[in-house]
Structure 1
Amino acid sequence: MVIKMKRRAVISSGSHVFDLLSDSLFLQRWFDLYRACPWATVYQASDFVKTWYESYGNQFSPIIVTMEGQQGELCGLLTLAANRSTGRLAYAGDVLSEYQVWLAREEVKDVFMPEALKLIGKEFTRQVLRLKFLPPGTHLGPLEKTNWVRNISFLSPSSRPLIGANDEQRIDQSLKSKKVKLNRLKRLGTVSFRQVTRDEFPDIFEQAWPLFEFRQIDQFNSSPFLRDADLKQFLFALARHSDVLHMTVLTVDEIIVAWLLGTQSNGFLHLMATGFSPFHARHSPAMLHMLMLSKSLIQEQRVFDLTPGGDKYKDQLATTYENTHTLHFFPGLRAALEDRPTRVIANKALKKVMRVTVKDPALALTSSFPGRRRDRPSPESPRAEQPKVSFRLHKLNALPLEKYDERVHEVRKNKVVDLLKHEPTHSQSRREFVSQAWRFIEQGADVYTLIRDARLIAGCWIASGDRTALAESAKSGVPAGTALLLGFYVHGSEDRAKTLNLLLHKWANEAVTGTEVTEAVIGVPETDLFKGISETDGNPSKSPCIASTTMQERPESVLRAFRWSQ
């Protein structure tokens, strides 16, 4: 007679988890389970999870739910963590884990997750568990068929965009359509696409991450690396101890113009982060890089997983899609009521109902108050007349750098990482600063920066004469081919005029290098902010006004320049 014993899930936390992770036998059993589970991804691999637990030990306390078989083999595994500050329950890896799912063998696939959820519900009564993007193929039967689980949880659908291993023809066509962009990059220098080795990863990534951070701040007011001190160290440790990470770069004369970091497993490369140089954005380096990477992966018969998220560029690249789901588990009513994402979803649903009821609820609410105008201002209405602002040409003698302020050697050009060292103030947030900086660069400007004590002291944005056709301020009446000062920032502790002169002389020296010219000419806004620019003899410039325009007509870049001093 065979007696079947009921398998039970066991929950471990804190130091007990680290004891398990130091047990080579447990890690081997984990590896065996990982290989046996058909829906496993790299984010369930012990290399990824163990490295994250160790790197984020100060922020999160580890939690593991396990289930063993009759022979002591590991049959089920769910890796979680609790935020030490808030108590929030997260999947191991938190936002860095793209696919958050449990592992289970065939014989326990219907019982492990209900048992694990039962334990979690008893232990963390006020914490919601959210497992985002359960990968395709995940066994969802116990979540959909177990009554008590179904009553306190739900699945929300999503999809992941992919570039398949058999889509080479479509990628070739896309690359061909970008040939003009690629040729423009080649005119700037030697273009190279390559994979980064494990040994060089730390040095290359130090150059690359600011390009990602700069864009994230501008687009989403998010700064993962500045906010999370453990993030870089986690990636470095992961690269040092495993082959999980895969990084490629697109360079022009060894300068990174685009890069992509992904995780690799089971014939897939999962996109993790990507960035590109704002100084080369007009050449679409990010798209070129992703197409080159796609072709390389196809040749290796690997699938490029662009990952869920709804980004427009992912839909432009994708050749197929697969379904994913997110599990939302609420151990109790109080947990649901206190869960912020749940409240956000509820508010969105309420607003959707309002939009159905009232086509324009904001306008309807405003018009309900007495004394309020019920019509919107006409776009044809004339704007109030704005004060006029003048511009002038300014000449700078290009002295040898050794004859100028010794700090001129500390001025750097086009270093995005310097812009991330700006100190936010009550009058200008980091996002406002970065957004303005990005717009200047989009207009063709180079940026010259000065750093002291790990903070940005000053920066100025100058569009060289051969780029002013790209800049909006070319409409200001400045003669064609004239360099333009688009913007200026100085820290409140610094002398404004002296610091600006320092940056301009660095630019002037660079502008005349390799020519017989000894003077550099630049267009400068005629405002109090810029009247401190001095000639080399120390006297204020007497250059005549060369253009006059209204605030309404003048380029936005110049208007912003007037606002940049602190």
Structure 2
Amino acid sequence: MARTSRDMKITLLDASEVARLLSDRDRLAEWEQLVRACPWATAYQTPAFARAWYAVYRPTFAPLIVEGRAPNGALVVLLALASGRRNEEVVAVGAPHAPYQGWIATSAASDFILGALAACGRELSVDQLTLRHLPKGTPLDWMHRIRGGVRLATRAVRRGLVSLDDITVEASPHHDLNGTVPGRLETLTARPQLEAVIDEIASQCDLRGAARNGGMPFRDDPQTRQLYLTLIDEPGLLHAAVLKVGDTVVASHVGVINGPSVSLGLVTCSPAHAARSPRRLLLLLLARQLHDEGYRVLDLNPGDDEARNRFATHADHVHTLTVFFRRRAYAAHAAARLAAHAPRRTRAIMGIASRVSKVRRRVSSLGLAPSLLATLQGRLARCWSLREFRMYGLPASEVPKTESGADLRRDAIDDLVLYRPFSANEMSVKEFLAEAVQRLEEGQHVYTFAANGALLHYSWLIERTGRAGSDFGHEFGLPGPAAVLWSDYTWPEARGRGLQTRSIHRRLRDAAAAGHTMMFIGVRAENAVSRHNIEKVGFGHWASGWAEYRFGRVKRWITYAQMGEAPEAAAHAAQHAWK
């Protein structure tokens, strides 16, 4: 498909033509020459990056390139795109992984984009094209000359930058991450090295992403893993490093090399080591290493990531460009902008609609009658009821001598990302993983059992604590630093297999091995199955937390069994008051 714009010939290359281009050494050299001649070009516009991305995403995207040639046949402009095979979406090459998307051109071909966008509007059945973000220095003075019903929208985005000449590592390069074993930064230069750790990197990335915004980059897009492995095969394109304690990856970075700078790409860290700030240590060590390797800038990439921007030494702005080829697309964009600036009353109405939608999901999950019954039971319990939460204790000397539970995994975050709520009453994936990250960062340990791509059981262990809570708002004072087993959950369809009992055995062994002399576990008194499992292991009733509800008010108190009252029993008795 060819069009002439003034003295330039604009051609849209389809998938077969792009395949021929990528196998033609002369045309690839021509593309490379244009990259060198373009003042604003980045690594994301190079043939090496495009070749890798096209190869990995071939099943879902068909390559599409818009090129412009001068009258003498020289390549002077190029825009690498891709069209969705399952929809009519057109994206820039690298989306969504490339933080810089745009065209490359010689300084004499600044008007190319006018003809290219007009050609895309005529030849492609798409409503819009978004380039996120244009490389710094991309000319925008052509925008006022756009014609043919095409509309544009731009948005400035802050970009943090780190001058590597201004960064110093304040402590030793071998910061102590766990009290005994020094951490070390390892650079990965070949596919086998990256392949050996990428699954751990993916788990850390998905856990953190789901906890923050509900997204799992690797799980949601399985091709992401292959993309990084393919990119590292391209010489000089990828910089990858991991921070290790022993053989454990506690933090990692994988970013694209862009001339004298490196883009801060994928950054992960283990929540279990969060107390010692492995992410910050990784960035400091990485900055020093990049400086020693001759790089001048660490590009934190455009966006509002506060954790990244706090590390910046200075900042500038780049732009996102959206091109609307159809009026309906621009109208939808304008309506969305109005909604974003809607008054408080409108947003409140939208919030009500969201809550109504949540109720609908719950009803569709449980059915109308069970949903109404569960709601009614919850209301009645808070209106008039007496609830008991039992706390059980077991001395380390009485821990059963068994290897039961060896099949459960400890702190396996790749199991956690397999969580799915069984019903609308349970935590969402985002809520569950956000809570899991917080607990791991606090030093708690999780035990999991997964099968067939599903998390069937999880339970937690808190070490060296003097406090334990209850489901009804109590706080138990424990004798001495103790271990607390809590938050046991088994997927309904996996119950009856002994998972909770095996989990209790495993946690008791680990707690005893860590030097604890007393272990505790709590359960609601009405949970007969869990109480049976707990008592069968050997736990004895130590205390009960009582909650008496009367028309929305609650009175709490704690009573102690014959195992001996806690030193702070008198203080807990003072909770026997209406609130």
Place the TM-score, normalised by the shorter chain, in its bin. 0.7 to 0.9
Contact 2:90 2:126 in 1 (8 A): no
* CA–CA distance in structure 2, aligned partners of residues 553 and 388 of structure 1: 10
CA, structure 1 residues 233+194, in 2 after alignment: closer, same or farther (shift >3 Å)?
same
Quick check: 1:39 aligned with 2:40? yes
Structure 1 residue 415, shift from structure 2 partner: 0.9
Partner of 2:86, secondary structure, is coil
* CA–CA distance in structure 2, aligned partners of residues 244 and 21 of structure 1: 17
Structure 1 residue 167, shift from structure 2 partner: 1.2
Aligned to 2:255: 262
Contact 2:485 2:507 in 1 (8 A): no
- Counterparts in 2 of 1:454-465, with a 5 A limit? 454-464=453-463
Structure 1 residue 417, shift from structure 2 partner: 0.5
Partner of 2:533, secondary structure, is coil
Aligned to 1:115: 115
The structure with the largest strand share of the pair is 2
CA, structure 1 residues 28+469, in 2 after alignment: closer, same or farther (shift >3 Å)?
farther
CA, structure 1 residues 342+51, in 2 after alignment: closer, same or farther (shift >3 Å)?
farther
Structure 1 residue 487, shift from structure 2 partner: 1.2
Aligned to 2:338: 346
Structure 1 residue 433, shift from structure 2 partner: 2.5
* CA–CA distance in structure 2, aligned partners of residues 75 and 539 of structure 1: 76
CA, structure 1 residues 77+472, in 2 after alignment: closer, same or farther (shift >3 Å)?
farther
Structure 1 residue 166, shift from structure 2 partner: 2.5
* CA–CA distance in structure 2, aligned partners of residues 475 and 196 of structure 1: 48
- Counterparts in 2 of 1:535-550, with a 5 A limit? 538=536, 541-545=539-543
Q: 1:309 aligns with which of 293, 303, 306?
A: 303
Aligned to 2:200: 207
- Counterparts in 2 of 1:14-413, with a 5 A limit? 14-108=15-109, 110-124=110-124, 126-144=126-144, 146-148=145-147, 152-168=151-167, 171-172=168-169, 175=170, 185-198=177-190, 199-299=192-292, 300-337=294-331, 343-349=335-341, 351=342, 354=343, 362=348, 387-395=387-395, 397-401=398-402, 404-405=403-404, 408-413=405-410
* CA–CA distance in structure 2, aligned partners of residues 104 and 419 of structure 1: 47
* CA–CA distance in structure 2, aligned partners of residues 497 and 6 of structure 1: 75
* CA–CA distance in structure 2, aligned partners of residues 362 and 552 of structure 1: 35
* CA–CA distance in structure 2, aligned partners of residues 80 and 471 of structure 1: 56
* CA–CA distance in structure 2, aligned partners of residues 32 and 361 of structure 1: 52
Q: How many residues are matched? A: 508
Partner of 2:115, secondary structure, is helix
- CA deviations on 1:87-124 (whole Å, 9 max, x unpaired) are 1121111111110110101221x221111111001123
Aligned letter for 1:348? A
CA, structure 1 residues 133+149, in 2 after alignment: closer, same or farther (shift >3 Å)?
farther
Aligned letter for 1:262? G
Contact 2:88 2:125 in 1 (8 A): no
- CA deviations on 1:102-151 (whole Å, 9 max, x unpaired) are 0101221x22111111100112354201111212111222224x242896
Deviating more after overlay: 470-479 vs 438-447:
470-479
Quick check: 1:415 aligned with 2:412? yes
- CA deviations on 1:378-424 (whole Å, 9 max, x unpaired) are xxxxx9898453322135744555xx44xx33211111001112234
Partner of 1:158, secondary structure, is strand
Aligned to 1:562: none
Unaligned 5+ residue runs, structure 2?
353-381, 549-553, 558-579
CA, structure 1 residues 533+482, in 2 after alignment: closer, same or farther (shift >3 Å)?
farther
- Counterparts in 2 of 1:361-510, with a 5 A limit? 362=348, 387-395=387-395, 397-401=398-402, 404-405=403-404, 408-427=405-424, 428=426, 429-464=428-463, 466=464, 468=465, 475-495=475-495, 498-510=498-510
Aligned letter for 2:143? L
* CA–CA distance in structure 1, aligned partners of residues 467 and 215 of structure 2: 29
Structure 1 residue 48, shift from structure 2 partner: 1.0
* CA–CA distance in structure 1, aligned partners of residues 334 and 210 of structure 2: 25
When the two structures are superposed, what TM-score results if normalisation uses the length of structure 2?
A: 0.80
* CA–CA distance in structure 2, aligned partners of residues 236 and 459 of structure 1: 32
RMSD (CA atoms): 3.2
* CA–CA distance in structure 2, aligned partners of residues 224 and 362 of structure 1: 31
CA, structure 1 residues 316+469, in 2 after alignment: closer, same or farther (shift >3 Å)?
farther
Partner of 2:317, secondary structure, is strand
Q: 2:521 aligns with which of 500, 520, 523?
A: 523
CA, structure 1 residues 539+188, in 2 after alignment: closer, same or farther (shift >3 Å)?
closer
Contact 1:33 1:103 in 2 (8 A): yes
Structure 1 residue 292, shift from structure 2 partner: 2.0
* CA–CA distance in structure 1, aligned partners of residues 262 and 547 of structure 2: 53
* CA–CA distance in structure 2, aligned partners of residues 393 and 265 of structure 1: 59
CA, structure 1 residues 149+388, in 2 after alignment: closer, same or farther (shift >3 Å)?
farther
- CA deviations on 1:170-217 (whole Å, 9 max, x unpaired) are x44xx46xx9x9866251522112322323011111111111110111
Aligned letter for 1:255? T
Deviating more after overlay: 524-533 vs 33-42:
524-533
CA, structure 1 residues 82+5, in 2 after alignment: closer, same or farther (shift >3 Å)?
closer
CA, structure 1 residues 514+235, in 2 after alignment: closer, same or farther (shift >3 Å)?
closer
CA, structure 1 residues 475+43, in 2 after alignment: closer, same or farther (shift >3 Å)?
same
* CA–CA distance in structure 1, aligned partners of residues 547 and 284 of structure 2: 44
- CA deviations on 1:43-91 (whole Å, 9 max, x unpaired) are 1011111111111111112110011234433211001111222211211
* CA–CA distance in structure 2, aligned partners of residues 440 and 552 of structure 1: 29
Deviating more after overlay: 126-135 vs 545-554:
545-554
Structure 1 residue 448, shift from structure 2 partner: 1.2
Aligned to 1:557: none
Contact 2:407 2:449 in 1 (8 A): yes
